[in-house]
Amino acid sequence: MADLIGGLAAILTTLSFLPQAILVLRTRNTDSLSLVMYVMFTVGVSCWLVYGLMIASLPIILANLVTVGLAAIILSMKIINTVAFHRAASPKTI
């Protein structure tokens, strides 16, 4: 029973970033997403991946491989939008 709940927890928390990644790719809108969150989260999940490789745990490796990919998509779009916003806001040099 505990394994079932743990498995469900792993599936839900891992796949939850899929609808967010799809939404961000479809709308290109990242206004209400926190840049700090996605930097911390992507680095954190990368650490989980390294940890999984170090202790040779296939479930940890696989779950975090999926999550780091989804988090990287969301973070990339946020960075692209943040850079574009600051470029547009800075005074023209011509």
- Tell me which residues touch a second copy (CB under 8 A): 1-2, 5-6, 8-13, 15-20, 22-24, 27, 29-34, 36-38, 40-41, 43-45, 47-48, 50-51, 54-55
The smaller minimum CB distance to a second copy, of residues 35 and 87, is found at: 35
The smaller minimum CB distance to a second copy, of residues 4 and 88, is found at: 4
How many degrees, rounded to 5, is the angle at CA 83 between CA 77 and CA 85? 100
Q: How far is the CB of 25 from a second copy (least distance, A)?
A: 11
Name the maximum alpha-carbon separation found in the chain: 67
b/e map 11-25, b = 16+ CB within 10 Å: eeebeebeeebeebe
